[in-house]
Amino acid sequence: MVEKDAILGCLVSVGLHAAVLALLLITFPVSMHSIQPEDIKVELVPPFQARPEQKTDGAAQVEAKQKAFETAADAEKENAKINPVKPSEQEDSDISEPAESAIGSHQDEAVTREPVLSAKNSPTSLVHPVKAETKMVKAEKIYSKDALSNPNVKQALGKLSPTDRVIQICGIEALEQIRHKRPDITPDMMARKGGNLTESSLKMFGGAFRSHANWYNLDFDCKINPQDLTVSSFQYAIGDLIPKKDWSRRELPID
């Protein structure tokens, strides 16, 4: 009898639990789908950058001026493209560029004592020339012909540019004219300060030549034949002794 009551009690208990469980399932349905994890949003934040300091009025003005200069420079470049320099104007500009040359008497003395000029002594700078002599003497004889016939001289001249070649040939003729005109003078160097230079002529004014550690004024007008590299005409004017106080101003070598 006791066993029947125990069994009955168990059945009643199981039934009550089943009823409670059924009530819970009906009231709170459980989804059979797996619970999805909550989405996590990741936002990339750029590194912190300090805000640029606001420019002061002075800095703003400086920047404005710089932009104005750049604009003006660009405008000049455009004008240069639109209005190119004419060949004649370019030639005049090249002729008026500063130039200076020192002419030394370095040559093969076994053959002749005529000077051979180095390309390094070609004119590179020119100061405002001294007023040219108004009167020049035309050379009665051309003396550079013998010197220019020297193979060593021809070889040296062949390595120069056309204008440098003119400077050397005319320099040789000028030194020879001085030697024949003034036997008391022994020129060993020449300095060219001003004049007009082309591929066939050199007109020098405000120049100078050195003799026995003294400098003398010299002007000349020389024309050559580019084909055979000979002097076709020559005029010159030998000036006075140049005071030592003027050497520095005229950029004449002391030694």
pLDDT along the chain (255 residues), means of 10: 58 60 48 44 46 51 51 50 48 42 42 38 41 75 91 90 94 95 92 88 94 96 92 96 95 86
**Residue 9 confidence (pLDDT):** 63
Q: What is the DSSP string of the chain?
A: -HHHHHHHHHHHHHHHHHHHHHHHHHHSPPP-SPPPPPP------PPP-PPPPPPPHHHHHHHHHHHHHHHHHHHHHHHHHHSPPPHHHHHHHHHHS---EEEE--S-TTT-------GGGS----PPPPPPPS--EEPSS--HHHHHTSHHHHHHHHTS-HHHHHHHHHHHHHHHHHHHH-TT--EEEEEE-SEEE-SSEEEEEEEEEEETTEEEEEEEEEEEETTTTEEEEEEEEEEEEPPGGGTTTTT----
**Residue 228 confidence (pLDDT):** 86
**Residue 8 confidence (pLDDT):** 59
**Residue 193 confidence (pLDDT):** 77
